[in-house]
Chains A and B, each alone.
Chain A
Amino acid sequence: MALDVYITGMGIVSGIGIGVDQTLVSLREQKSGIQPLKHLQTIHDLPCAEVDLSEDQMRELLNIPADEVVTRTALMAMLATREALQQARLTMDGTYRVAFIHGTTVGGMEKSEVYYFDFLQNDLHNEFIEAHDCGACTEKIADYFGGFSFVSTPSTACSSAANACILGANLLEAGIVDIAVVGGSECITKFHLNGFKSLMILDSQPCRPFDETRAGLNLGEGAAFIVMESKAHAAKRGVAPLCRLSGYGNACDAYHQTASSPEGQGAFLAMNAALEMSNLQPADVSYINAHGTGTPNNDESEGQAIVRVFGNNPPHVSSTKSLTGHTTSAAGGVEAVISILALQHKFVPANCNFTTQMQSLPFTPVINVLHDIPVQHVLSNSFGFGGNNTSLIFSNVQ
């Protein structure tokens, strides 16, 4: 059954820009956000793509007083959501039943990792005990705007925001809500920076996805949300859709807690399911925005899965994590916005830092931005720990 899900607004903050316009410029000019750490306090000297705003600056942009308890993850999400609502010309006045679905994993960990021993020993920072909770974070963001009749928090590590898109689409299809605002947000924390470090998958150099010399990922942070509604509902509101979500797939690799199977079975199943739902043939896809973290294991496994689905000459492939870093739970949202920009502005973003062809793969990623080329359907992959694989397909509305 074809999906009747159209995107009427989007918003983003990440290491490559605050807002859609800056993001588009960075993508077209291949400006990477991966730099030495500036906002996070840690002993590690690792390049990351931070959002270049302090929490105070975000509060100012959002008009939130200094004494109100709001985490960095929530602040970034508010900025991105505000932009998405504005573009969709949606006022949260209770006219419509609107869902807010926020994929996240670390929640308020950025404060818990500072105050954890206080939590155990005294009452000095009790306000952050509640703020630690991911669901509380979602409600904090929703309440900043008000008027949401449904809220939810999917959490599947690095595919969280992509799974938020699936729930939003299904709620719309079931007629439970009129509009769904979906995406994800995650700030870099010491907790997951050290976690990824303990897995020895952080590169101390800028990451090189789909490159023979790749040696791991760079963390990023960010938030991105899209506004979804049916074609008829968008028409009724007089808002022109940017594109549509034509299909999704979710499958589990069921192989290992962190490693992907060598043949990429979960990724293969997810991409095929998304194609089937979209009623598309592999050859119809113009561009694959890969998960492409830059770890030896992911890119090998995802690459093999792409070959299994698309053959030895797949469509253009790039990993924009070489620009944004890996924004973990937000990645599915960040890359949804990037995919939509590619459709709207007819370009394919680059897979930066590429030098050496992977011996095990027959295809080469897009090394430099391809301008002025037809982009009809974009497939975006997001994979999480535990083999949680999700693929989304965005399509032009013409």
Chain B
Amino acid sequence: MNSKPIYINGLGSISIQQPLSFEGIQQPLSYQTPHVRCVEPNYKDFFDAVQARRLSKIIKRAIVTAKQAVDDSGISMPDAIVTGTGLGCVEDTEKFLDAMIRNEEKFLQPTFFIQSTHNTISSQIAIHMNCKGYNNTYIHRGVSFENALLDAYLLFQRGTIRTALVTGNDEMTPNYFILLGRIGYWKQAIQNTRTCITQEQSKGSFAGEGSVSIMFSDTPSSKSYACLNRMSLLYKPVKPMQQIIREFVADCGLNIDDIDVCMTGMNADTENDAVYNSVLQDLFSPNEIGTYKHICGEYYTSLSYGMLLSAYCIQQGIVPAHCILGGVEKSGVKHILLYNHFRNRDHSLMLLSTC
């Protein structure tokens, strides 16, 4: 496929780092618990009481980061809004489910049901912006964000849209943390999230959550952080991933040596990280392999944070030392290859470059 690059012209995030800022990329907060919740901004600056009444935390976060990304880009209204979310609005889903079981299907509050559908996030963003354009939502485990981005990317390639707001949103409630803990998602304890990928390899990761909004455009601007050259999603690839990565980079008109950093979804879980190590060992040295989940934590759409971080690093030309597996800061950064996998079944590749 011949592909046209699209440009990242606006960014917004609320995460387990300082909200609405890039501080977490420079100086990440570290935590000593495997379940870390977002650092929230003061939502009263954004919503009055009547507006806020039916907005759960995840929706407030999404609307606020969407506004930040749109304002940052200088584009007043996106042509499309596409959201990736692994779990959707868990908090309200749990409230409705819990009440339904406890009250034996009586006295159920509609608000929690309405908010339980995954696409509530994307439509609430649209309602708040009065955006009547294309609107879609993808919910596919650890590759939900790249599914949403691919949807927008294809519309750009067709020329159907010229701008798109693509968002990644997930929340990790105490109950869902317990559920996923039962099936091996989390470590029992953690000494230091900031260094866990190199220091605390064991079963499980640590849970984060967050909202990232990214404004894409088919034209660069003075605001552009980076451009997305190409992307590819694969399910259970038959060919070895090394070969697929080489071909992907070649399709971008580059050599493996041109890639400054391969940004991975390593998360301190032995099984997860082993996949990256084995695929990348002949392609990149530890000083060319990047990580971001020590900053944002593990959640289904954490790649959205990885993309925000990579775009910011390309604009700055530097990937800080704590984001490099080998521990050495990388400067003169022009090309970052984002490689993500979920359980070695779903894989995604995206190339971000200077504009």
Contact = CB atoms under 8 A, between A and B. Distances in A.
Q: Does A pair with B? A: yes
A257 B54 contact: yes
A133 interface: yes
Interface string B180-199: 10110000000000000000
Given A44-B105, A150-B234, A386-B120, A136 B141 contact: yes
Interface stretch (B10-18, B96-104, B212-220, B312-320): B96-104
Contacts, number: 196
B167 interface: no
A266 B96 CA distance: 28
Interface in B66-119: 81, 86-88, 96-98, 100-101, 104-106, 108-110, 113-119
A194 B100 CA distance: 8
B44 interface: no
B223 interface: no
A254 B132 contact: yes
Chain A interface residue count: which class?
35 or more
A152 interface: yes
A251 B132 contact: yes
Contacts of A105: 117-118
A113 B100 contact: yes
A252 B100 contact: no
Contacts of A142: 235
A388 B139 contact: no
Interface stretch (B147-155, B200-208, B266-274): B147-155
A85 to B, nearest CB: 17
Interface string A190-217: 1110111111000000000000000000
A385 B110 contact: no
A232 to B, nearest CB: 16
Contacts of B108: 194-195, 197-198
Nearest to A387: B123
A113 B101 contact: yes
Contact of B116 (A135, A166, A195): A195
Given A149-B235, A191-B97, A254 B131 contact: yes
Given A156-B119, A191-B97, A252-B81, A258 B140 contact: no
Interface stretch (A5-13, A25-33, A171-179, A370-378): A171-179
B179 A129 contact: yes
B139 A135 contact: yes
A195 B139 contact: no
B133 interface: yes
Contact of A194 (B105, B182, B345): B105
A28 B244 CA distance: 50
A133 B114 contact: no
Nearest to A43: B105
Contact of A250 (B87, B101, B135, B178): B135
Contact of B136 (A129, A156, A192): A156
Contact of A135 (B81, B141, B182): B141
Contact of A257 (B123, B130, B144): B123
B101 to A, nearest CB: 6
A148 interface: yes
B137 interface: yes
Main secondary structure, interface of B, reads mixed
A173 to B, nearest CB: 7
Contacts of B130: 254
Instruction: Give the residue among B86, B119, B136, B151 with the most A Cβ atoms within 10 A.
Output: B119
Nearest to A123: B182
Interface in A129-158: 129-130, 133-136, 138-139, 142, 148-157
A153 B158 contact: no
Contacts of B136: 154, 156, 163, 166, 250, 388
Given A120-B178, A257-B124, A155 B139 contact: yes
A273 B226 CA distance: 31
Nearest to A117: B101
B49 interface: no
Nearest to A151: B235
A89 to B, nearest CB: 22
Contacts of A265: 132
A348 interface: no
A252 B135 contact: yes
A91 B109 CA distance: 47
Interface in A218-268: 250-258, 265-266
Given A123-B182, A257-B124, A156 B135 contact: yes
Contacts of B131: 252, 254
Contacts of B116: 191, 195
A96 interface: no
Nearest to B233: A150
A286 B54 CA distance: 42
A123 B178 CA distance: 11
B117 A386 contact: yes
B147 A195 contact: no
B237 interface: yes
A120 B181 CA distance: 10
23 contacts: A43-B104, A113-B97, A113-B100, A120-B175, A134-B139, A134-B140, A135-B141, A150-B233, A153-B147, A154-B138, A167-B154, A171-B154, A174-B154, A191-B100, A195-B110, A195-B114, A196-B113, A199-B113, A250-B135, A251-B133, A257-B124, A257-B127, A387-B135
Interface of A: 1, 42-44, 94, 105, 112-113, 116-117, 119-120, 123, 126, 129-130, 133-136, 138-139, 142, 148-157, 163, 166-167, 170-171, 173-176, 190-192, 194-199, 250-258, 265-266, 269, 384-388
Given A120-B178, A155-B117, A254-B132, 6 more contacts: A94-B238, A126-B183, A152-B150, A253-B132, A254-B123, A269-B132
The 3 closest A-B pairs by CB, nearest first: A386-B123, A195-B113, A135-B141
